[in-house]
Structure 1
Amino acid sequence: MPPAAATNLGYTPPDGGWGWAVVLGSFISIGFSYAFPKSLTIFFKEIQAYFSVSYSEIAWVSSVMLASMYAGGPLSSVLVNRFGSRPVVMAGGLMVSGAMVLASFGTTIIHLYLCVGVIGGFGLAFNLQPALTIIGTYFQVRRPLANGLAMTGSPVVLFTLAPLNQFLFDCFGWRGSFLILGSIVMNCCVAGALMRPVNKSVEPKTEPPPCDQLPAEEDPAANVKLLTEENLSESRSQSCFHKFVDVSLFKHRGFLIYLVGNVVMFFGFFAPVVFLAPYARHQGVDEYSAAFLLSIFALVDMFVRPATGLLGNTKWIRPRIQYFFSFAVAYNGVCHLLCPLADGYAGLVVYTVFFGVAFGMLCALLFEVLMDLVGAKRFSTAVGLVTIIECGPVLLGPPLSGALVDKFGDYKYMYYACGVFMLVPGIFFFIMHYYNYKWLDEEQRRSEAADTRNSEEAVELHVNEKIAYETDG
């Protein structure tokens, strides 16, 4: 995509300095946002037996949590634009902590849906959104690397939480474990404290006028029509709305390509991770070995994400980074389609390694390519719009996959379905970005040709005026 989309910030990002502390804070915040719902699957087998519910019903716990995290995107974007990243992340940490404490006293599965799913999910939205947004304000040249490092927080936290949750369950049961996890997730407040607003010292960024102020006309004579009180209120409302929700993004070609492909992709995005440990236990693997699969997955993932960021930052990949993302999506689909061929625990380990590579590549690029498409200035609103639309497939994906397990009594059909839901959008991305890059190149050539013509016409006009002046003289 054209670099201009990401460079018009109104100031020069430091590309380092305190930005690396911000990356650390984002690392922690993003880590809990994505790893926490996955790590809770360790308790699913026991909670399922405790409440006597099906695979599909227990899957709703993680599903509602992830969907709430995505549905809270627009609200989080508004709060970030209004208050900045730091207080929003700290509030999110408090919400998730409170949700886990309340869930530890749950008496029905509905109680877990509301506490862990809804309250905890919205808390994670307040952790995720600001962490993604603030990186774009601190980094420009090294942005793919910074995003890759920050996104590595998810596998690192998952690698730690997966065996820790199994240990906590053995010692304290799922209720005691939820209480302890409520205190652990308070680290998000520490992460938020690191997210100091960027010092825009080179050139101040032009901000939209406050909602309670009407933009002043530069030329008073141009203000022919006096605004009535009704027109004034309407103008203020539109100013506030467009400040926080950039609906013009729905006319942005690259944004629409990203949105359409992601909606399909997210039906099969989370379910393979959510059901990895239960699938292993269904195959007769013991509890700790099943939990260790998540650790292997996270270990591979944590090395792949920064490596993907480094690779995406190279001069060969970054100008066409959307192709790299398309490959990552399709690669995930192929892994899931081949998963049922894995035989025994060794086969599951091999699948987990390849899946970890695929998942790490995709996650490292997921938000970088959106920022590449719409630019850092519009990213906060763009990611809010994307997540609210994606919350549908995020909500329905794992329960539908669980319903397939309930119906057939086998996990292979669930993995086949997830593979198709990932492979199809991967092919779609390849095709659409080929044409999108082609159209962008044509538009750039036309723009350069128009600039050349305008320059030539200006020179010709200047020459003619000079000749006319000399003739008159």
Structure 2
Amino acid sequence: MAKVNRARSTSPPDGGWGWMIVAGCFLVTICTRAVTRCISIFFVDFQTYFSQDYAQTAWIHSIVDCVTMLCGLGFALCYSPAIAMVGKYFSRRKALAYGISMSGSGIGIFILAPVVQLLIEQFSWRGALLILGGFVLNLCVCGALMRPITLKDDQTTSEQNHVCRTETQGFQRASPSSTWTKEWVQTCLCGSLQQENNFLLMSDFIVLAISVLFMAYGCSPLFVYMVPYALSIGVSHQQAAFLMSILGVIDIIGNITFGWLTDRRCLKNYQYICYLFAIGMDGLCYLCLPMLQSLPLLVPFACTFGYFDGGYVTLIPVVTAEIVGTTSLSSALGVVYFLHAVPYLVSPPIAGWLVDTTGSYTAAFLLCGFSMIFSSVLLGFARLVKKMRKTQLQFLAKESDPKLQLWTNGSVAYSVARELDQKDGESVAIAMLGSNPA
């Protein structure tokens, strides 16, 4: 097979072929996330055909989402790598690039929702699924656009790993049975593995991971039960599909405008706060949903929820990159999307069980709303504690020794104080020599 020539760059190009990567990721999100979310339109047909309740039917959608986020199977082989590639090609315009890329989900829902409903009416649910399967084959075209790029940080890490492997092989050839050689090999391999996955031990990333579990639990059921809920309050099938289209098109606006706004100088340093705000607003929308019993009331809900859903989805890679850095972004994003898997698997069936048990959607929607609000509050509380701790360290440093300076990561710069002490000592010595020439 021909060897792939990797483009080399010292920093993300923020343009050029990067826009083709954005276009490829845009198509990937249409073929994966949009198609997955449109499965809710099949929900009532599945219930009728298989004669199953809400909880049993919900497993169809939840298993699709879970496998996408959990395995190396199906959509997972396309979705996570495409998102990681965008992060490799963009730095200064990262939020905007992600906004355009992730807007494919909203555009896909806007277009596919009425089309899928029409396909079901014309060809039944079986024929509609076959046509969607043919459409998803366009992922092969998207994959052809993904051109690897090697950045300076990646090249440095790769060179270090190569040196480590070379030295390991040399020691193994020289003395394969030596205890010292075995210890060296183990140390080298552990060091390389630790360098690649050290973000897993970062407290900020652990908090983000926990919050993602609650956020993912809350966001998934709406796309399963939006159409059934609308039908239960007397909305027609076409109007329910129209609500999904509204949700999709506003999701697009949220993707792009949130990405563009948070790239502005006034909000660049507050992307983390914007992410929390968007998740919290979606949680509040959930709490209001049980009170909305007509189409004119559901339309504003779809607009609000869709906008902030697009907003926080755009900022997930940005916030992850802020915490772990660009070098570990691909691995960290894999972990973040992996953590979506379990909530995606269990939340729709749990919501369906609550609907079957209570005969109402209220309990299911309230649980989702509180879950998303808790996710936002948890991240906000963690950031507040970190800021307070940093302020306390700065105060203690100033009280103990005014010469001590504090770096932004909270560690005391003892080297600066040591240099100042050395200079003071030299000044005293010179003064003593000047006063006593003998």
Q: Which TM-score tier does this pair reach, normalised by the shorter chain?
A: 0.7 to 0.9
Among 302, 305, 311, the residue aligned to 1:352: 302
Residue aligning to 2:11: 12
Letter of the structure 1 residue corresponding to residue 358 of structure 2: F
Percent identity among equivalent residues?
28
Q: Deviations over 1:426-451 (max 9, x none)?
A: 22222211223444675635557445
Residue aligning to 1:382: 332
Q: Deviations over 1:57-114 (max 9, x none)?
A: 1111111111111212xx5xxxxxxxxxxxxxxxxxxxxxxxxxxxxxxxxxxxxxxx
Structure 1 residues 190 and 199 mapped into 2: Cα distance closer, same or farther (>3 Å)?
same
Q: Secondary structure at the match of 1:270?
A: helix
Letter of the structure 2 residue corresponding to residue 401 of structure 1: A
Aligned pair 1:188/2:139, yes or no?
A: yes
CA contact (8 A) 2:282 2:305 kept: yes
Residue aligning to 2:322: 372
Structure 1 residues 40 and 456 mapped into 2: Cα distance closer, same or farther (>3 Å)?
same
In structure 2, stretches of 5+ residues that fail to align are 1-7, 395-405
Distance across 1 between alignment mates of 2:327 and 2:300: 41
CA contact (8 A) 1:28 1:188 kept: yes
Residue aligning to 1:268: 218
Q: Deviations over 1:188-218 (max 9, x none)?
A: 1211111111264899443152599344699
Distance across 2 between alignment mates of 1:321 and 1:371: 11
Post-superposition offset of 1:381 = 1.6
Distance across 2 between alignment mates of 1:274 and 1:436: 37
CA contact (8 A) 1:144 1:312 kept: yes
Q: Say what the alpha-carbon RMSD is for the aligned residues.
A: 3.3
Letter of the structure 2 residue corresponding to residue 60 of structure 1: W
CA contact (8 A) 1:30 1:150 kept: yes
Structure 1 residues 69 and 454 mapped into 2: Cα distance closer, same or farther (>3 Å)?
farther
Distance across 2 between alignment mates of 1:308 and 1:18: 23
TM-score with structure 1 setting the length: 0.78
Residue aligning to 2:161: 209
Distance across 1 between alignment mates of 2:369 and 2:291: 13
Higher Cα Rg: structure 1 or 2? Answer: 2
Letter of the structure 2 residue corresponding to residue 23 of structure 1: V
Q: Deviations over 1:330-349 (max 9, x none)?
A: 11110000111213111111
Aligned pair 1:444/2:407, yes or no?
A: yes
Residue aligning to 1:399: 349
Instruction: Summarize the alignment of residues 153-168 of structure 1 with structure 2, pairs less than 5 Å apart.
Output: 153-168=104-119
Letter of the structure 2 residue corresponding to residue 44 of structure 1: F
Post-superposition offset of 1:389 = 3.3
The number of residue pairs the alignment matches comes to 409
Distance across 2 between alignment mates of 1:327 and 1:337: 16
Structure 1 residues 211 and 267 mapped into 2: Cα distance closer, same or farther (>3 Å)?
farther
Q: Deviations over 1:4-49 (max 9, x none)?
A: xxxxx99211111111111111111133332221111111111221
CA contact (8 A) 2:55 2:351 kept: yes
Distance across 1 between alignment mates of 2:107 and 2:364: 27
Instruction: Summarize the alignment of residues 45-444 of structure 1 with structure 2, pairs less than 5 Å apart.
Output: 45-72=44-71, 75=72, 122-198=73-149, 200=151, 204-207=155-158, 208-210=160-162, 213-215=165-167, 226=178, 231=183, 234=186, 238=190, 241-242=193-194, 246=197, 248-439=198-389, 444=407
CA contact (8 A) 2:154 2:327 kept: no
Post-superposition offset of 1:273 = 1.9
Residue aligning to 1:6: none
Aligned pair 1:36/2:35, yes or no?
A: yes
